[in-house]
Every structure is written in structure tokens, then in C-alpha cells.
Amino acid sequence: MAILDVQNLKMYFETLRGHVQAVDDISFKMNKGDALGLAGESGCGKTSAALTILRLLPWNGSVVGGGVFFDGVNILEMSPEKFRDEFRWKRISVIFQGAMNALHPTMRIGTQISEPIISHEGVTKEEAYNRAARLLDLVGIGASRIDRFPHELSGGMKQRTVTAMALACNPELVVADEPITALDVIVAAQVMRVMAELQKKLNLSMVFISHDLSMLAETCNKIAIMYAGKIVELGDVVAIYKEPLHPYTERLIGAFPSVIGEKKELAAIRGFPPDLLHPPSGCRFHPRCPYAMPLCKSIEPSLIETDNSGHSVACHLVKA
């Protein structure tokens, strides 16, 4: 059974100028041990989708339709208290973007990591501290640094501390929102390696949210490409990168340079991402799509499965 099953999820932000359709009817499934990459440009709704799943929406965001089933239970329907007591940290946790700002500057990292363990599992301070030490070993910082303050750590170590924190209560699903954007290439590679190893070792299910398709190619086994609040393509990582079906996916992958293989011209997508207050009619990509037909302007394509492997695409050019 799927550990995470998102069904027709819609989440709109209420603003003075109207509804921003940040997440508009997305569906996907994840099995235990999957690493799903949620990819897309800024403003495509990938972080909003994650916040909805984590039930961390800001006050003006509301779920308009659909459900998020975690292990068969719709977590959007339960009370906030129940979600907090039974799911947050214990079963679903999050690694936020920008570890520099996610840590409390005047608390020792050991105390910060023990905090969720104490409040969620009711263990003693000493036990929580011992577990924090083990977690720091696990992410490669070393238990000896448990009494350090965040400012004494480098960027890579802070990011790993935040990772350790997310793992504090042995969750089944971890959502990582742009975990390496603020880091330098070599440090980023080290952090990603730690995360990939942990994911395998602990059989975690992970959702990686990123705009960096190169990074996702190396860490995920499934990819969902989002554009303007919709999932436009979904499937196995190799299928997505090797045989992309949606014109947007194809160009987006082509826009990433590579240090290996032959030098190819970088693909460009003309125009700008749409305003989600007034998304384009029909297929939301049609104003920028080189293959757009009259049909694309009027009718919205639905996400259809193209083969048995679960490769789905929302484009009129592809027939089921």
C-alpha cells in the first residue's frame, strides 16, 4: 500500500486581489522507501504542495478540495491536535530550506535536537540528549560537537544538524524543501550523499523539493514535474529524463548544463511563468509551448497514464 497518497489536492491562497491557485488538483502516490522529486520553477506550487501535506499552511492558505492519505488516513481531516500528537515529527517530518535560519542561534544544537524528542516521546532529558548524540553521529557531524552553538558550525554542518533534527523521532516520511540551495557545490554533494545514505539505511520515504533537476536526477527514483500549480508529468526518474513526454519537461531538462558527455546547446523556454491569480485557460503551458494547438487554449489536458510503469503526462499531444 502507498505510504502517501495525494488525491486531487487543491490549495488556494486568499489575497486581496483574489484566489491564488497555488496547488490545483494534483495527485500522486508514494510507496515506502520511495524518493520522490517534486520539481519546478519558483512559484509553480511545489513548496505550497509540501506545506499542505505537512499541515503547515500560513493563515491565508486553505485546502479547497482533495485529500492527503498517509498510510490510509486522511491527515487533512483530523484535528490539528491529533495531527500534532500522532503524526508531526513522529511519522512525518520536514527539513526546511536554508538551515542557517532554521536553527535557534542561542541554543546548543544538542538541546535543539532533543527538544522534539522530549515533547513528542516524553523521555527524560538525558535520554533525549543521548539520542541527539547518536543522531549527530549518524549524519556525520560527530557526537563530540553536541554542545556547539549554530554559529560555531559551517553551512554544511548546520544543514546536517537540521537533517538530524528531522530524523529525531524516527519518522517514516521526510519532506526536504530545497535542502542544499544555500550550499557550495562540494558541500552540497557531501550533504546529499549523507541524505541518500540515510534514506537507504533507514528505509525512509522522502520528498525532495527542488528546482535543480540535476540534483534530483541523482537522488530520486520518481519525479513529478510541476508547472503553474499542476503536475504536468510524473514517473520513474529514468523515464522522465530519457523520454520526457511533456514539452515543458523536455525543455526544462534541456536547460540544465552538464559537465559530462557532449556539449549540447541549452534549451530555452520563451516567455515567463504565469500569474496564478489568473492562470491561462486550457493547458497552462500553452502560451509558452512551441507545439501549442488551438485545442490547448480551450481544453485542459488531464494527467493520463501512458504505460504500465506509471509514467503519466498532461498534454494533448500524447494519447493514452
Residues that bind other proteins (CB under 8 A): 41-42, 154-156, 184-190, 192-193, 211-215, 217-218, 237-238, 241-242, 251-253, 255-261, 263, 266-270, 272-273
Please tell me the distance from the alpha carbon of residue 253 to that of residue 266, in angstroms, as a whole number.
Answer: 9
- Given the C-alpha cell 485542459, which residue does it identify? 300
Query: In whole angstroms, how close is the CB of 154 to other proteins at the nearest point?
Result: 5
- Rounded to a whole number of angstroms, the minimum distance from the CB of residue 221 to other proteins is 9
Nearer to other proteins, 113 or 269 (CB): 269
CA 283 to centroid of chain Cα atoms: 24
The minimum distance between CB 146 and other proteins, in angstroms, equals 19
Pick 255 or 295: Cβ nearer other proteins: 255
What lies within 8 Å, CB to CB, of 79 at 6+ separation is none
Nearer to other proteins, 174 or 180 (CB): 180
Instruction: Give the three-state DSSP class for 244.
Output: coil
Least CB distance from residue 269 to other proteins, whole Å?
4
Q: What is the DSSP string of 279-302?
A: PPSSSTTGGG-TT--HHHHHSPPP
**Residue with smaller CB distance to other proteins, 149 or 256:** 256
- The least CB distance from residue 132 to other proteins, in Å, is 22
Closer to other proteins by Cβ: residue 40 or 116: 40
Nearer to other proteins, 67 or 140 (CB): 140
Q: Which residues of 11-22 are buried (b: 16+ CB within 10 A; e: fewer)?
A: bbbeeeeeebbb
Alpha-carbon gap, residue 177 to 99, rounded angstroms: 10
Nearer to other proteins, 270 or 319 (CB): 270
What are the CA-CA distances from residue 93 to residues 88, 164, 170, 317 (Å)?
Answer: 6, 11, 9, 38
- Find the shortest distance in angstroms from Cβ 182 to other proteins: 10
Nearer to other proteins, 131 or 160 (CB): 160
How many residues appear in the chain?
Answer: 320
Q: Least CB distance from residue 13 to other proteins, whole Å?
A: 19
Query: What is the C-alpha separation between 96 and 177, in angstroms, rounded?
Result: 5
What is the CA angle 226-231-232, rounded to 5?
90
* Shortest Å distance, C-beta 242 to other proteins: 7
- Amino acid at residue number 260: I
Q: What does the alpha-carbon distance between residue 215 and residue 190 come to, in Å, rounded to a whole number?
A: 12
